[in-house]
Chain A
Amino acid sequence: MISIEQLSKVYASKDHEVVGVDHVSLEVNKGEIFGIVGYSGAGKSTLLRCMNILERPTSGKVSIDGIDLLSLSAKELRTARQSIGMIFQGFHLAMAKTVQENVAFALKAAKVGRQERRKRAIELLDLVGLSDKADQYPAQLSGGQKQRVSIARALANNPKVLLCDEATSALDPNTTKSILQLLKKINRELGLTIVLITHEMEVVKEICDRCAVMEEGRIVEEGHTYDIFASPQSDLTKRFIQTVIDFNIPDQLLQEANGTVVHMKFTGGSAGESIVSDLLQNFKIRGNILHGKIDYIQDKPLGTFVMELTGEVQEIEKAIESLRTTVEEVEVLQHDGFADHPIARAE
């Protein structure tokens, strides 16, 4: 649906250049929710804004639904933008217009007639659950309601794509959830392709089918959300994952643990508990669970366990060997009271 090839955006000022996006290639499939995460300044907004040419790329190609956006005239580009909705962190509603007028504006941009505009605006407000606020002004709405209005405006011309720049970053956790649910609903019901930028991994975990991690203008990792969570490759991705799947074990507890501490991660089918009980039965060791958690990502379980194993060193080593064959990832955090991989612990 969205195809980006070797896209770069360089901001040149008098004495230096800032590379916003650095040779990024990306495919977003039709009907998926694609997340882009990264720290501030990674180039997420710049990349997103290149997708509707709010920012003109320095080089590279952007096409949406087979249309090469960079080859269009100003007028053609305006028409193309009507099928690319966009929402922002700051909502960006016209304060002098009512909620309904804000939505109708997008229709006016597409030259929809007055009668039809009214009707469609009401339908859209209904879709986002704000039909009772049609005649209010944005200043009278809460953040979540404003974002709903901006979603209605973005959806006005039946776009194929919705671009979201930190759409929930200004909202509290509950409101964030409800907005994400709305986006998910739109994605499912209208078959809309959504690209969503965020610095919160929680958001990605909640609704993204696939995601990419950005740093310094480049995409460092990309894949299905579950895979990214289950087996992150880059350090940056790992750090992001840790913000959601956190197994922060107090140092004190680790120091007190006198056995071998292993961290294991298991995905999908393999049920954690049976693995643990098998382990304790098959080897002459004792186990003590320090941490256990199952996260559901895209409705698939991802388990994280941290156990302290005590017993004969050889038995423990054999047990770990066998673990490596049954679970996705095993990591020894500490051997017999000595830290092995201190970095592996979150923070």
Chain B
Amino acid sequence: MMDSLITLLPELNKSFIETLIMVGIGLVVALIAGLPLGILLFVTDRDLFLENKTVKSTVGVIVNLIRSVPFIILLVFLFPFTNFLLGTTTGPVAASVALSVAAIPFYARIVESSARDIDRGVIEAAIACGASPWLIIKDIIFPEIKSGLISGLTITAISLIGYSAMAGAIGGGGIGDLAIRYGYYRYDNFVMFTTVILLIVMVQVVQYIGDFAAKSVKRS
């Protein structure tokens, strides 16, 4: 058993890093694109300070469209785009294209819903102070939802770990790929259990770090 583990180790290591790359890129993109999009969805809502029906419904529809496509289909659907972007559809970076596309609307909705929990009165008071929309976003909305943003990122990360396994199965690499190659095609239960344990540990660690970070920014 120890032997099999040692022989597996290099492969396990490689897969682990590939998963980290996929999830990491997905998360960064979610943060860079999903966060502003989520805020945009919120502030263009009815009765809010940048109320804009056209923007709100256009962005809303796009977000829902992407979210309603099952990930495995999105992945295949995006192959031409990935190929155009990177010249390849295999490897963790290529897989992270689809992961990112899925993560953006996912995180955007989380951001939007945490912003909805802000007491509208607080925003109103800021408007009454004569604050500009940007200042309200930066100085009122953002700090108020900071801990929600981190919890949201945790949820996104965990979903991405799950998605990355699917991406792995069709050429992305990573832990999911490993599990399928050994566990599914070769009936190697040892490898499969090891990968499952590794995934469980990963999710637990992400959750733990996420909860800790969310708690530590939460004041009052």
Interface centre among A82, A97, A140 (most CB of B within 10 A): A97
Tell me if B130 and A93 are in contact (CB < 8 A). no
Check A109–B130 contact: CB distance below 8 A: yes
What is the CB-to-nearest-CB distance from A149 to chain B, in angstroms, rounded to a whole number?
11
Interface size band for B: 20 to 34
Whether the pair A88, B140 counts as a contact (CB closer than 8 A) is: no
Main secondary structure of the interface of B (DSSP, over half): helix
Neighbour of A78 across the interface among B124, B130, B220, CB < 8 A: B130
- B86-130 near A? 1/0 per residue, CB < 8 Å: 000000000000000000000000000000000101101111111
Q: Please encode chain A, from 45 to 74, with 1 for each CB lying within 8 Å of some chain B CB and 0 for all others.
A: 000000010100000000000000000000
Q: Indicate if the CB atoms of A96 and B144 lie closer than 8 Å.
A: yes
- Size category, A interface: 20 to 34
Instruction: Determine whether A9 belongs to the interface, using a CB cutoff of 8 Å to chain B.
Output: no
Q: How many Å lie between the Cα of A54 and that of B120 in the bound state?
A: 12
Q: Are A96 and B146 in contact (CB under 8 A)?
A: yes
Interface residues of B in 168-195 (CB under 8 A from A): none
Which residues of chain A in 88-103 are interfacial with respect to chain B, using CB atoms and an 8 Å cutoff? 88, 90, 92-97
Minimal beta-carbon separation of A157 from chain B (angstroms): 8
| Bound form: Cα–Cα A111–B180 in Å | 58
**Given A108-B135, A108-B139, are A95 and B220 neighbors across the interface (CB < 8 Å)?**
yes
Q: Which residues of B contact A80 (CB under 8 A)?
A: 130
Assess whether A137 is interfacial by the CB under 8 Å rule.
Answer: yes
In the bound complex, do residue A88 and residue B125 qualify as a contact, i.e. CB atoms below 8 Å apart? yes
Residues of A within 8 A of B128 (CB): 52, 54, 81, 84-86, 154
Asked whether A153 lies within 8 Å of B143 as measured between CB atoms, the reply is no
| Inter-chain contacts of B131 with A (CB < 8 A) | 78, 105-106, 108-109
Residue of A with least CB distance to B144: A96
Q: Does B132 contact A (CB under 8 A)?
A: yes
Query: Which of B125, B127, B139, B144 makes the CB contact (< 8 A) with A95?
Result: B144
Known: A85-B128, A138-B220; 15 extra A-B contacts, CB below 8 A, are A77-B130, A78-B130, A78-B132, A82-B129, A92-B122, A95-B122, A96-B146, A105-B139, A105-B140, A106-B131, A109-B130, A109-B135, A137-B219, A153-B129, A156-B129
Q: Which 6 A-B pairs have the closest CB atoms?
A: A81-B130, A109-B131, A92-B121, A92-B125, A137-B220, A139-B220
Q: State the B residues within 8 Å of A (CB).
A: 119, 121-122, 124-132, 135, 139-140, 143-144, 146, 219-220
Seen from chain A, the residues whose Cβ lies within 8 Å of a Cβ on chain B are 52, 54, 77-82, 84-86, 88, 90, 92-97, 105-106, 108-110, 137-140, 150, 153-154, 156-157
